[in-house]
Structure 1
Amino acid sequence: MLKTFSIILFLSIQIYRAQATLELLPQDSLTYNLQSKSPGWISVKSKDANLAISLFCEGKKVKDQDNSKGTQSVENLFYNSEKNKKYTLKIWAKSYLEKSKKAKIEISELKKRIILDDKLSYDEMVQDIKYFRTIREQVNSGLYVYRNKKEIDSIYNWAIQKAEISETIFDFYKIIAALTQFEGSCHNFTDLPNHATYYLTQKNEYLPFTLKNVEGYLLQNSKGISIPLSAEIISINGILSNDIIKRFSQYYSSDGFTLNYKETAGFEKGMFDKFYIEFGIHKNYKIIYKWNNKEYKIVLPGISFEEFKNLQESRHSLSSDSSKQTGAYSLNKENNDTYRLILKTFDFANSKDDIAYKKFSTFLDNMLLTLEKERIKNLIIDLRGNGGGAGALYEKVFTYFTQRPFRDSQFAYTNFNQIPFKDKLVITPMFLANGVKNGHDVDLYLKQIYPTSSQGKFYWADEKNPLILPNEKVFNGQIYLFIDENVASAGSHLASLFKSYTNAVVIGKETNGGYYEHNGHLPVVYELPNTKIQTGFSVVHVIQDVQNLNDQKKGSGVVPHIKVNQTPKEFLEQTDVYMTKVFELQQKKITFK
């Protein structure tokens, strides 16, 4: 149901141009007609729901935005109005707490953006730390998989001590992020209630170039900068590059003890927010860098956030960063006897009944016909950047490459089949997309899927974990599997099956997702009561259907047979070192198994 409002209250306060207060029901949306005819900021906030907004000009969408994640968050949007044109704002609840009935919405048109207050009391932080631990102990089946109780006690004692010298929400967020990633699950995350930049100045104090971690070296990643492209950054404002990598890595989670993803993800995903949470913003940046074996010093002034955003979105490595490549899947011919099956994601279908699943099945059938018709001997399966998605999709892929029946898992379990702490459970977009509107709906699902209780655990029903049979025809040639640090969840699950049960030569870098086990299937999000920080994790612990291998230790991702490294020169030239390696192996006729 769409409601339209045009409520105006002009104020004498200097920064306000117009304000309105509206009400929004869950599953509803509304539109607001902008009153100001001058460029400025729109602020949309609620104490009851996480809002998403869309800006329209004369009925044509200009921009979608969902920067902030908390249910007491704000969305700030800058717009340039054109004379005699009508601007409207569509507003809807992206997520809300289970107990929410309706959301009070406050809309303000401003001359300049208001910087949010981020001060917290010690008591607020300690209460949230204790609540955070209580949630993990009762809800998270993966809490003690890689950490024992002594280790968990120790880090929570550290967190309480750290809170004593913390004052701001950034300080506290660093504590909660450390607790989050310590557990060892790639599905763990913790989000600030509001976008980090909403707490920061609008002045020109942002980093004047972007960065890329290439094999432990920080390289300058922006074109047209006074520091040469691909120059090695030694330090920024006195902080050495290896310390930057280490401190930045604390905001990212991986299965077990793997580090590759943690140490690289921030430079693709966190430069807009987490970099400034950790290192702050500055009027000037003192840089020491190395170029052609010589060290140079330079001081560069900070730039605006919009300028930095443009640099990050046009960075040199953009074309090769796995997460930025388009298309869910494709089949490319690389030479006379080699094809490459590219599988970028498994998030394009939800189940076998989905039309996208049926289309994908037809694609795989046609792929096999092409390989047979052309008598192709070598197939590259490129999983780089595949962060996962629906289990039905990775299972379908593997049926074309195995003679062995397999299952999604040996077994899987949760700590419960009635969701705890419903009053702080966030009803997420994933829940809403599947018709889940409250905690009661979650309980109905859990009791159906995890009905059997044994020694305090609730196990996946056998009929939900059937034996999956191979396809009638399978590929019998040589497989080369490409993996990298971004491969996780269903992507790494598939990689583990290929390594365990096929002749695949695994090339690349250790995956973010685990080889033997992981927490997955059902993600939940909770909101901390005082700070409104949201924390998410998957509640089902999955023991995967794989063999024990000598090079696969507990707590590792899928480890490649052959590791590839990129040199600064190859980074500069954007060389695909994976393809170079596979052609080298083919020439030498190197195989495994």
Structure 2
Amino acid sequence: MFSAPAIQQLLSDTYQELVWKHPGTYRYTQKAVFDRYVDSLKSTITDSLSELEVYRKLKPFIARVRCLHTDVSLPQSYTDSLNQLPDLLPLQVELINGHLYISRNFSGDSTIHMGSEIVAINGRPVDSLLAEILPAIATDGYNETLPARAVYHLFPLLYRNLIQLTDSYKIEVRLGGIKYRYTMAGKSYTALAGNGFLKEPVPEKQLAFTVQNNTGFLTVHSFAASDIKAAGQKFSSFMKKTFTTLEEQHIPDLVVDLRDNTGGSDANAALFCRYFFDTAFRYWDRIVVTDSIAREVKGIVKLFYRKPVYKNGEWLWLKGRLTREFDFYKVQRPAPHNYKGRVYVLINGFCMSSCADVAAILSHHHKAVFFGEETGGGYQGNSSGMMPHTSLAPTRLQLTVPLQGYYNAVAADKNYGHGTLPDVPVQAGASEKDATMEVVLQHIRQRGK
């Protein structure tokens, strides 16, 4: 247990850490608004709190930065111990228009019908639970599609970590206007976690390309070099072969599936964009850092990173000396075999980070028609890059703060606080992934007619 004064000081120290290091602390929330929120949060702490209770105070506070790369986490050893306990709700749920519906049932009770609406859990109405859970999910800006995806993939963990630690669940559901009540035992993380549920899915191949009926289908599950390498693939050679094939076979339509691509290497993302341009273009407009971080680039550090320059009221981060990860604010050139046909891109709320950057650049230059739902990452960019962890004493909680603020070379006022918006919105549930693809195929068939 930690005393109230200790936790209040922890909040002050955490806020100061954000202001010193995070280049976008006030990107979406004005300083005066943030100050009032912190003061209000401190006033709610009147007694000692456990480490988990401190975490529950900090999660919505950190989410107020509105940056999906900024987070606070429980100590891994504690999480590992929790995951051994039967403390998770044995249901996968889907959030649709503010309501929770059962999509998968792991309780062993066959009388529970899929599609039933959950009305309450352990006596608390669902709207009350969502009012605590959703504001604690980190997003870029005011995005709502990412939290909905997070609820679908992670709800049992969100409930346990943010609401209640228990091994027994009483749920009330509604189906066909009739309410039903069920009691079920919790299950452990090991018993429930599967590919895409409670943990990140790992496809056999991160990159896939086929041609069917004179249409190309390109799936990019990740831009992360480590993920692609683990799948036995190489991004640059794969893309070169793909776009050479498109050119040689004169394929008129290309469907690009970026859904659930959470980002990765900026080099891969920028290279990918180059295949859709036949003239020079800008990828990033600039990279900024705080005054405190700019002043840290001195001494031996300058062997690796150039000293930021102060321009127009901002500290601008420059290209690294030994790395290319900060190069892409320079003018980008088209790739050989760049595609000149019609492009259709599938997006959803789990298109994050560099994947969201790709969508923004292609959308800004009208290089594709977008189908699905708003990307989870910001249209104007994000804060990421180097992301060190800070221990929040006296607890064991860890704070992750990104040090670079990336601004995409797009209109500064379009989609502000949001991601790339689809040209053709498709209201498909998280469990209905192929519904968006079918809309795209209908669009292509209609064009053919």
For Structure 1 versus Structure 2, the TM-score category normalised by the shorter chain is: 0.7 to 0.9
Instruction: Verify the 8 A CA contact 1:196 1:277 in the aligned structure 2.
Output: no
The residue identity in structure 1 corresponding to 2:355 is G
Task: Tell me if the contact between 1:260 and 1:512 (Cα under 8 Å) persists in the aligned partners.
Answer: yes
**2:225 matched residue in structure 1:** 348
Q: When the two structures are aligned, how many residues end up with a matched partner?
A: 438
What is the aligned partner in structure 1 of residue 323 from structure 2? none
The answer on 1:234 being equivalent to 2:126 is no
Q: Is 2:413 aligned against 1:528?
A: no
Corresponding residue for residue 264 of structure 1 = 149
1:581 equivalent among 429, 439, 449: 439
Partners of 2:433 and 2:221 in 1: how far apart? 19
Q: CA 1:241–1:364 in structure 2 vs 1: closer, same or farther (change >3 Å)?
A: same
Query: Structure 1 548/588 Cα, relative in aligned 2: closer, same or farther at 3 Å?
Result: farther
User: How much does 1:500 deviate?
Assistant: 1.0
| One of 536, 556, 565 as aligned partner of 2:427 | 565
Q: Closer, same or farther in 2 for the Cα pair 1:522/1:234, shift >3 Å?
A: same
Measured in 2, the distance between the counterparts of 1:129 and 1:347 equals 34
Greater helix fraction, Structure 1 or Structure 2: 2
Instruction: State the secondary structure of the residue aligned to 1:173.
Output: helix
- Equivalent residue of 1:271, what SS? helix
Counterpart among 286, 298, 310 of residue 191 in structure 2? 310
- Superposed, 1:49-60 pairs within 5 Å as none
Alignment of 1:87-102 (within 5 A): none
Quote how far apart the aligned CAs of 1:194 are: 4.4
Does the C-alpha gap of structure 1 residues 416 and 222 become closer, same or farther in structure 2, counting only changes over 3 Å? same
**8 Å contact kept, 1:527–1:534:** yes
Matches for 1:205-224 after TM superposition, within 5 Å:
206-214=88-96, 216-220=98-102, 221-222=104-105, 224=108
Gaps of 5+ in 2: 321-326
Structure 1 segment 89-488 matched on structure 2, within 5 A: 119-165=1-47, 167-194=49-76, 206-214=88-96, 216-220=98-102, 221-222=104-105, 224-226=108-110, 227-269=112-154, 271-272=156-157, 274-282=158-166, 284-291=168-175, 293-305=176-188, 309-313=190-194, 323-333=201-211, 335-348=212-225, 359-416=234-291, 418=293, 443-444=301-302, 448-454=305-311, 457-461=314-318, 464=327, 465-488=329-352
Q: 1:203 to 1:357 in 2, by over 3 A?
A: closer
SS at structure 2 position matched to 1:250:
helix
8 Å CA contact 1:346, 1:388 repeated in 2: yes
Q: Distance in 1 between matches of 2:300 and 2:184?
A: 51
The corresponding residue for 1:498 is: 362
**Structure 1 residues 248 and 198, CA, compared in 2 at 3 Å: closer, same or farther?**
same
Question: Secondary structure of 2:36's partner?
Answer: helix
Q: What is the CA–CA distance in structure 2 between the aligned matches of 1:312 and 1:565, rounded to whole Å?
A: 27
Confirm or deny: 8 A CA contact 2:264 2:353 kept in the other structure: yes
Letter in 2 for 1:529: A
Shift of 1:166: 5.4
Amino acid of the residue matched to residue 264 of structure 1?
Answer: R
3-state SS of the aligned residue for 2:59? helix
1:417, 1:451 within 8 Å by CA — same for their partners in 2? Answer: no
Identity across matched positions, percent = 20
Shift in CA distance, 199/556, structure 1 to aligned 2, threshold 3 Å: same
Which range is displaced more, 130-139 or 401-410? 401-410
TM-score (norm 1): 0.67
Aligned to 1:70: none
TM-score (norm: length of structure 2): 0.87
* Structure number having the greater strand percentage: 1
Deviations 1:219-239 (A, max 9, x none): 222255331233222221232
Q: Is the 8 A contact 1:345 1:388 kept in 2?
A: yes
* Unmatched runs of 5 consecutive residues or more in structure 1: 1-118, 423-438
Q: CA deviation at 1:339?
A: 1.6
Task: Quote the Cα distance in structure 2 between the aligned partners of 1:245 and 1:268.
Answer: 15
How far apart are the structure 2 equivalents of 1:405 and 1:350? 29
C-alpha separation in 1, matches of 2:275 and 2:64: 37
Give the Cα–Cα distance (whole angstroms) in 2 for the partners of residues 350 and 582 of structure 1: 28
Q: In the alignment, what sits opposite 2:324?
A: none
* Cα drift, residue 195 of structure 1: 5.1
Deviation at 1:177, TM superposition (A): 0.9
Looking at structure 2, the residues matched to 283 and 318 of structure 1 have their Cα atoms a distance apart, in angstroms, of 19
Cα distance change of structure 1 residues 245 and 264 upon mapping to structure 2, 3 Å threshold: farther
Amino acid at match of 1:512: G
Q: What letter matches 1:298 in structure 2? A: R
Q: Relative contact order (alpha carbons < 8 A, sep ≥ 6): 1 or 2 greater?
A: 2
